[in-house]
């Protein structure tokens, strides 16, 4: 038989709670009874129950209370009393209540708003079944960049790997929807039949794609996105089976995607069609890198295993086809990692900034509570003398702090709610899932948790200063004589912390402002003022003939140039800073390489000859393209300085010949050199650029951008452009109408967004820190009126008194700034993804903001110091 033991926790409770004079006998009795009890299981249970009943009764019983009030009523009345007292106190001091809760609201609001913006991208559940099994597969190029693959590469990976349940390919597609209403260019996606399986999406209406839809000869079918279905077809459920005209070709609608589907891989996509590729097609080649691979890992395969599997398969392919792959590798990334590439760092930096602001707000609120505790010293002293326990006094303060922080959290939520619209409008379009940003349940929960945490800290920290013995001692002594207690050290500590955190934010903001300024000062290499651009595309069987495409563009070009107020207009296959990306290998005749894949790349601009004039490019050598370079004349090209530097090493490039893309194209002769333009972004590396006549391109570009230099404003010239294009062919849609300055601004939104947020956080922090240091010094002056009186009675001049307090404030500010400077050097790395053209530890900036913060601290100190100097010795000494 096992030894029966009384419940240990119950025993412990009894030892704690039974009054000492009864304890030994009562507990002894209980143990005796316990051991006397029947050994049967039922008897055992009864004995344990009895033990527990006593323990609970004992812990509920209140010492020296012969009335034996039931626990619940006693505690609740106490709590209710504390609550109503706290409420009454807060209502009686609306200034304190509002200041403190609004201070907290700034922190909570910032934290909630940023968390709401970053949440969907960083941690919000993705709307796909088992989204963590979806991965993207990309080729890694020599420069470390990742990009798309050729279709055959994907087919081979599908065969050569065993980790994937399905591996799908997708390619961009920009169909023009014609039919009822104006022609509209849409964003679409051409996908493998298995794409829906990979994404784990089931159609809401109709069916998905079948393998037999995904062949070159298959009938043309499409699936509509929920939004397009609602927008263009009024949510008509009879849409399945109907045909729609895309680029003058009939497509049968076979299904509609569910409303919950998000195109995280192709934001804005509204249509899906089967890719219809075969390995034998020309565009499916291994170096035709325009297809994006996405896969679903088998449920019993670890992502790391899948990555190794893919890498091994790719290595075999690379060995088999060295001319196609060169030194390339392959990279597998989870859907989330792919989606947040490039924004993860900035988002975490912003979350960090919001957290700093939250801490500063909390520091300020805590300081306000400390000041309030000091003010309530008299009340506390009396309550403590009357027998209130320390816990009881702390509890009343905690309740007060929790109420205030709850109010602060509510204000903060309201603040976040009203700011979220602006934030979304300011946010860069590259922010993933921005359409999912809202202040919802998660944000509200976050605000609740923050309220609880803030209330705990700002209530319990001051409460920890309560020392009942000290309070009782104060009752005996004069309250004024307690000038420097623990509260003083705490308040100073808090102010120093606040200054340090503020400096971190200010430093970050300073660095980011300069980054953005430097970025905007970057020379794009082309003129932007009074220029606008429009994307145009042709499609349909009529344009299967390249000559028709060329003719259409020639007509559009002429029609637009004839518009009154248009100075210049030209067409180009791609435009810098517009996220167009069309790079080709360039193979020089003079310096042939064994492996053509190792030759350098260049962006290909197929342009009309007046492109240089319209864009304000700078000619360095030779000539630009001119109208005499037509389809039948010698094939020519103009290269940029970057290529000359990279491929010519001081030799004269004029007259050199090269092929673009594969080795089967024509030789093109260099006739001129122009200055570089920034293509991929203001912060991008310089890239090779090649200009060839639109008419001499080896194929006709179905999509071009029109650039117009006009003396009119964009809004008034756009209708004329629309008419001019419409006269050539009404089925050509106008898309992405934008002025060039706006386009460049858009390319910098991410940085400007971060900078604006940092800046507003930093300014808020600065104000809070100034209030903080002002509050502490005012408090110090208030409490030390008598000391000041004594000093001035003993002959201290006003200057000396002002100096004394300035030194006090200065010491706090200096300590805070010193810690802040150290901190900003340590934390600068977090800003790296947002910084351009400046070190995140730029000493000049840090010194500048330190000086600024010091100045603000000084101003915040001056007023209390001046007030101290106005203390009248006679009044001060009489005041006790």
Give contact residues for other proteins (rule: CB under 8 A): 18, 21-22, 24-33, 35-36, 53-54, 57-58, 61, 66, 68
Instruction: Between 54 and 695, name the residue whose CB sits nearer to other proteins.
Output: 54
Q: Which of 45, 53 has the CB closer to other proteins? A: 53
Cα–Cα distance measured from residue 428 to residue 414, given in angstroms and rounded to the nearest whole number:
23
Q: Which is nearer to other proteins, 23 or 392 (CB)?
A: 23
Closer residue to other proteins (CB): 26 or 620: 26
CB 202 within 8 A of CB 258: yes
Those residues with Cβ within 8 angstroms of residue 794's Cβ, 6 or more apart along the chain or in another chain: none
**Beta carbons of 30 and 54 less than 8 angstroms apart:** yes
CB of 3: closest distance to other proteins in angstroms? 13
Minimum distance of other proteins from residue 21's CB (angstroms): 7
- Tell me the three state secondary structure of residue 535: strand
Residues with Cβ < 8 Å from 206, sequence gap 6 or more? 223, 240, 241, 253, 254, 255, 256
Residue 58 Cβ vs other proteins, minimum distance, rounded to whole Å: 5
Nearer to other proteins, 29 or 315 (CB): 29
Q: Which residues are CB-neighbours of 287 under 8 A, at least 6 positions away?
A: 150, 324, 585, 597, 662
Strands, E assignment, 487-618: 531-537, 566-572, 583-588, 601-607
Residue 49 or 878 having the CB closest to other proteins: 49
The residues that bridge with 570 in the sheet, in sequence order, are 707
Give the shortest CB-18-to-other proteins separation in angstroms.
7
Q: How far apart (Å, rounded) are the C-alpha atoms in residues 341 and 701?
A: 31
Tokens (6 digits) for 481: 């004589």
- Minimum separation from the CB atom of position 37 to other proteins (A): 11
Least distance (Å) between residue 36 CB and other proteins: 8
CA–CA separation, 252 vs 224, rounded Å? 10
Please, which residue, 46 or 663, has the CB nearer to other proteins? 46
**Do the Cβ atoms of 827 and 353 come closer than 8 Å?**
no
Asked if residue 179 lies in contact with residue 245, where contact means CB atoms within 8 angstroms, the answer is: yes
d(CA 763, CA 509): 9
Which residues on neighbouring strands pair with residue 568, listed in sequence order?
Answer: 709
Phi and psi, residue 294, nearest 5°: -140, 140
Nearest approach, Cβ of residue 73 and other proteins (Å) = 17
Nearer Cβ to other proteins (64/92): 64
Q: What angle do CA 427, 433, 434 make, to 5 degrees?
A: 30
Tell me which DSSP letter residue 646 carries: I
Could you identify the residue written with the tokens 């192709």?
Answer: 266
| CB closer to other proteins out of 29 and 523 | 29
> Is residue 545 packed enough to be buried (19+ CB in 10 Å), middle (13-18) or exposed (0-12)?
exposed
Taking each helix axis as running N to C, give the angle between helix 749-783 and helix 344-375, from 0 to 180 degrees, rounded to the nearest 10: 10
Nearer to other proteins, 26 or 712 (CB): 26
Least distance (Å) between residue 39 CB and other proteins: 14
Q: Which is nearer to other proteins, 21 or 469 (CB)?
A: 21
C-beta closer to other proteins: residue 54 or 599: 54
Give me the residues paired with residue 158 across strands: none
* Alpha carbon distance 516, 682 (integer Å): 10
> In whole angstroms, how close is the CB of 412 to other proteins at the nearest point?
47
* Nearer to other proteins (CB atom), residue 74 or residue 326: 74
With vertex at residue 9, the alpha carbon angle to CA 7 and CA 10, rounded to the nearest 5 degrees, is 65
- Least separation in angstroms between CB 388 and other proteins: 25
Q: How far is the CB of 871 from other proteins (least distance, A)?
A: 58
Question: Beta strands of 202-278 (E only): which ranges?
Answer: 205-206, 221-224, 243-246, 249-256, 271-274
Nearest partner of 240 among 255, 251, 230, judged by Cα? 255
**Nearest distance from C-beta of residue 66 to other proteins, angstroms:** 7
CA distances from 805 to 780, 783, 790, 864, 873 (A): 9, 13, 15, 8, 17
Phi, psi for residue 567 in degrees, rounded to 5:
-80, -50
Q: How many CB atoms lie within 10 A of CB 808?
A: 19
In a 10 Å sphere around its CB, with 0-12 CB exposed, 13-18 middle and 19+ buried, how is residue 396 labelled? Answer: buried
Answer yes or no: are the C-beta atoms of 163 and 310 closer than 8 Å: yes
Q: CB-wise, 66 or 92, nearer to other proteins?
A: 66
CB of 811 to other proteins, least distance (A): 58
The CA distance from 572 to 560, in Å, is: 14
CB of 79 to other proteins, least distance (A): 24
Residue closer to other proteins (CB basis): 30 or 636: 30
């Amino acid at each position: 038989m096992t030894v029966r033991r009384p419940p240990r926790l119950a025993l412990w409770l009894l030892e704690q709670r039974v009054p000492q004079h009864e304890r030994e006998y009562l507990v002894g009795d209980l143990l005796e009874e316990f051991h006397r009890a029947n050994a049967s299981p039922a008897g055992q249970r009864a004995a344990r129950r009895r033990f527990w009943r006593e323990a609970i009764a004992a812990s509920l019983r209140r010492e020296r209370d012969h009335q034996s009030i039931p626990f619940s009523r006693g505690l609740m009345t106490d709590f209710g009393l504390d609550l109503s007292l706290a409420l009454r106190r807060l209502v009686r001091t609306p200034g304190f209540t509002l200041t403190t809760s609004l201070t907290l609201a700034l922190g909570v609001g910032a934290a909630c708003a940023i968390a709401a913006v970053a949440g969907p991208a960083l941690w919000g559940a993705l709307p796909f079944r088992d989204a963590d099994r979806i991965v993207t597969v990309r080729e890694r190029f020599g420069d470390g960049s990742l990009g798309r693959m050729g279709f055959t590469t994907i087919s081979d990976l599908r065969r050569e790997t065993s980790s994937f349940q399905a591996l799908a390919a997708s390619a961009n597609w920009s169909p023009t929807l014609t039919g009822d209403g104006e022609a509209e260019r849409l964003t679409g996606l051409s996908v493998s039949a298995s794409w829906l399986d990979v994404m784990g999406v089931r159609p809401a209406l109709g069916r998905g794609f079948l393998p037999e839809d995904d062949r070159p000869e298959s009938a043309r079918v499409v699936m509509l996105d929920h939004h397009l279905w609602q927008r263009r077809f009024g949510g008509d459920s009879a849409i399945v089976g109907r045909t729609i005209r895309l680029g003058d070709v009939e497509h049968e609608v076979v299904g509609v995607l569910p409303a919950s589907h998000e195109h995280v891989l192709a934001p804005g996509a509204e249509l899906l069609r089967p890719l219809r590729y075969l390995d034998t097609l020309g565009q499916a080649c291994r170096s035709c890198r325009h297809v994006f691979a996405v896969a679903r890992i088998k449920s019993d395969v670890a992502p790391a295993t899948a990555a190794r599997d893919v890498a091994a398969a790719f290595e075999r392919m690379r060995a088999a086809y060295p001319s196609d792959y060169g030194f390339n590798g392959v990279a597998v990334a989870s859907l989330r990692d792919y989606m947040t590439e490039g924004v993860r760092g900035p988002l975490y930096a912003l979350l960090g900034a919001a957290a700093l602001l939250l801490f500063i707000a909390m520091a300020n609120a805590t300081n306000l509570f400390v000041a309030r505790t000091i003010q309530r010293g008299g009340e506390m002293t009396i309550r403590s003398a009357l027998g209130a326990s320390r816990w009881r006094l702390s509890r009343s303060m905690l309740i007060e702090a929790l109420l205030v922080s709850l109010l602060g959290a509510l204000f903060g939520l309201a603040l976040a709610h009203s700011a979220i619209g602006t934030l979304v409008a300011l946010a860069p379009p590259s922010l993933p899932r921005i359409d999912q940003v809202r202040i919802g349940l998660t944000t509200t929960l976050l605000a609740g948790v923050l309220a609880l945490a803030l209330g705990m800290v700002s209530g319990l920290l001051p409460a920890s200063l309560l020392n009942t013995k000290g309070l009782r001692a104060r009752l005996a002594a004069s309250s004024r004589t307690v000038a420097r207690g623990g509260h003083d050290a705490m308040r100073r500590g808090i102010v120093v912390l606040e200054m340090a955190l503020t400096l971190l934010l200010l430093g970050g903001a300073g660095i980011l402002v300069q980054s953005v300024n430097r970025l905007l000062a970057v020379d794009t290499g082309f003129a932007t003022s009074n220029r606008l651009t429009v994307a145009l595309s042709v499609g349909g069987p009529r344009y299967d003939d390249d000559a028709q495409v060329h003719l259409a563009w020639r007509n559009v070009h002429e029609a637009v140039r004839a518009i009154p107020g248009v100075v210049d207009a030209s067409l180009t296959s791609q435009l810098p800073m517009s996220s167009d990306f069309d790079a080709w290998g360039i193979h020089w005749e003079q310096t042939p390489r064994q492996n053509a894949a190792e030759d350098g790349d260049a962006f290909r601009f197929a342009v009309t000859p007046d492109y240089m004039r319209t864009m304000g490019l700078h000619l360095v050598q030779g000539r630009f393209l001119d109208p005499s370079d037509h389809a039948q004349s010698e094939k020519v090209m103009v290269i940029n300085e970057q290529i000359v530097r990279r491929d010519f090493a001081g030799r004269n490039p004029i007259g050199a010949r090269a092929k673009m893309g594969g080795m089967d194209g024509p030789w093109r002769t260099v006739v001129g050199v122009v200055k570089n333009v920034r293509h991929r972004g203001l912060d991008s590396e310089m890239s090779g650029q090649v200009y060839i006549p639109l008419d001499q391109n080896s194929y006709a570009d179905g999509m071009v951008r029109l650039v117009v230099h006009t003396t009119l404003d964009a809004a008034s010239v756009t209708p004329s452009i629309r008419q001019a294009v419409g006269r050539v062919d009404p089925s050509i849609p106008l898309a992405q109408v934008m002025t060039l300055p706006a386009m460049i601004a858009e390319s910098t939104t991410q940085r400007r967004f971060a900078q604006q947020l940092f800046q507003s956080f930093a300014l808020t922090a600065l104000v809070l820190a100034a209030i903080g240091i002002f509050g502490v010094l005012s408090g110090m002056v208030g409490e030390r009126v008598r000391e000041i009186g004594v000093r001035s009675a003993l002959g201290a001049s006003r200057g000396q008194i002002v100096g004394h307090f300035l030194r006090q404030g200065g010491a706090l500010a200096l300590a805070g700034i010193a810690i802040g400077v150290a901190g900003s050097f340590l934390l600068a790395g977090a800003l790296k993804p947002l910084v351009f053209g400046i070190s995140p530890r730029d000493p000049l900036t840090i010194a500048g903001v330190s000086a600024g913060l010091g100045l603000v601290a000084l101003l915040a100190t001056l007023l209390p110091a001046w007030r101290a100097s106005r203390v009248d010795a006679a009044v001060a000494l009489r005041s006790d």
